[in-house]
Structure 1
Amino acid sequence: MILLSDPKVLDVPVRDCGEPLAEIASVPVIVLDPRERDEAGAYGRVRTGVLERLRSASEMLPDGVRFLVIEGHRSSTEQARRFALYEDRLRRSGITDPVELRRQASAFVSPVEVAPHCAGAALDLTLVDADGVELDMGGAVNGHRTGDEKHCPLDASGLSDQARRHRDILARAMSGVGFVNYPTEWWHWSYGDRYWALISKAGSAIYGPA
């Protein structure tokens, strides 16, 4: 598994295409959840091309199922804050080696210099039914915050058949339009960033920090 702290990710060149950020809420079939709302409203924006692909992915979902987006763009300041907080949590657990701290922290929070969210290239999302009720995904979005790391990977073991089906629905729709998953987080999908470029062998990222 390649983590975001891997030097190969930082080595990917960026040739930003200049696309602006777009409002996720402008697409009626996609639900935007307020739980990660920030003062500037950045959480509700992604690059135009990312939003168009999300719209296309939504058309691949079964009837009565919709995307619930938790977070899109994130400022570099907020990204750095979250990374430091998670490193502190790991440090308190007894991990002191700086290299290992960075590696383990990057399993759930990207180093700011390569962060897909900071590029407007990433989406944290789940699925809801026609009434807006979240489907059983076998674990919560950002489950690492509550100590449920074992259910966070997309291919986590021990999931119910229902949760596995729902994750498969999500994965088919997102990968079907070109998104790549960060395998430690079933809810995190990106397009156009450095990690996407490395995994998809695109050669270069088309989105840098936005």
Structure 2
Amino acid sequence: MILLSDPRVINIPVQDCGEPLVEITSFREISLDARERDEAGAYGRVRIGVLERLSLASRHLSDGVGFLVIEGHRSSAEQSRRFALQEDRLRRYGITDPAELRRRASAFVSPLEVAPHCAGAALDLTLIDAQGVELDMGGPVNGHRTGDDEHCPMDTPGISSTARRNRDLLAQAMRSAGFINYPTEWWHWSYGDRYWALITKADNAIYGPR
């Protein structure tokens, strides 16, 4: 499993295509959750190419199923804060080596310099039914924050058959539009960032920090 702390990720060059950040709610078929907030308000923006691909992905969902986006673009300051908090959590378990702290923290929070959310390239999202109720995904979005690390990886064993079907539906829809999953987080998908470029063997990332 390749983590975001892997040196190969930072070595991917970035040739930013210059696309703007746009509001996720500009596409009516995409819902935006307001549970995540920063100093500027809801994390409700991504690059326009990312949002267009999400719209394409929505066409591969079952009837009556939609996307609920939890978070898109994230500021550099917020990214740094979350990474530091994750390192603090790990220190409480006795992990003090700087390299090991960085590696383990990156399983759930990206180092700032390669963070897909800071590039406007990443989406944290889940599935909802026609009434807006979240489907069973076998664990909550950002489950690591509440100690549910076990069920965060996309391919974790031990979840129900319903949750597995829902994860498979999410994966099929997102991959059909060119997104890649960060395997430690079933809810995290990105396109155009350094990690995406490494996994897809693209020559370079097309989105850098904004």
Task: Provide, for residues 100-144 of structure 1, a one-character-per-residue CA deviation record: whole Å limited to 9, x for no partner.
Answer: 000000000000000000000000000000000000000000000
Which whole-Å CA distance do the structure 1 matches of 2:115 and 2:209 have between them? 8
Q: Aligned pair 1:87/2:79, yes or no?
A: no
Which whole-Å CA distance do the structure 1 matches of 2:47 and 2:26 have between them? 13
Moved more, 118-127 or 91-100: 91-100
SS of 1:82's equivalent in the other structure is helix
Which whole-Å CA distance do the structure 2 matches of 1:108 and 1:208 have between them? 20
Which whole-Å CA distance do the structure 2 matches of 1:116 and 1:66 have between them? 23
Contact kept? 2:15, 2:204, Cα under 8 Å: yes
Partner of 1:28: 28
Which whole-Å CA distance do the structure 2 matches of 1:9 and 1:88 have between them? 24
Task: Provide, for residues 38-86 of structure 1, a one-character-per-residue CA deviation record: whole Å limited to 9, x for no partner.
Answer: 2323610000000000000011111000000000000000000000000
Partner of 1:45: 45
Partner of 2:68: 68
Task: Provide, for residues 9-52 of structure 1, a one-character-per-residue CA deviation record: whole Å limited to 9, x for no partner.
Answer: 00000000000001001111111000002232361000000000
Aligned length: 210
Contact kept? 2:36, 2:42, Cα under 8 Å: no
SS of 1:137's equivalent in the other structure is coil
Query: AA paired with 2:117?
Result: H
Query: AA paired with 2:154?
Result: L
Q: CA deviation at 1:92?
A: 1.1
Query: AA paired with 2:32?
Result: L
Which whole-Å CA distance do the structure 2 matches of 1:30 and 1:37 have between them? 18
Q: Percent identity?
A: 77
TM-score (norm 2): 0.99
| Stretches (4+) displaced over 3 A | none
Moved more, 168-177 or 35-44: 35-44
TM-score (norm 1): 0.99
Structure 1's unaligned 5+ residue stretches are none
Structure 2's unaligned 5+ residue stretches are none
Partner of 1:10: 10
Contact kept? 1:65, 1:127, Cα under 8 Å: yes
Taking the TM superposition and a 5 Å limit, the aligned residue runs for 1:131-142 are: 131-142=131-142
Question: What CA RMSD, in Å, does the superposition of the two structures yield over aligned residues?
Answer: 0.7
Taking the TM superposition and a 5 Å limit, the aligned residue runs for 1:1-210 are: 1-41=1-41, 43-210=43-210
Query: AA paired with 1:7?
Result: P
SS of 2:84's equivalent in the other structure is helix
SS of 1:69's equivalent in the other structure is strand
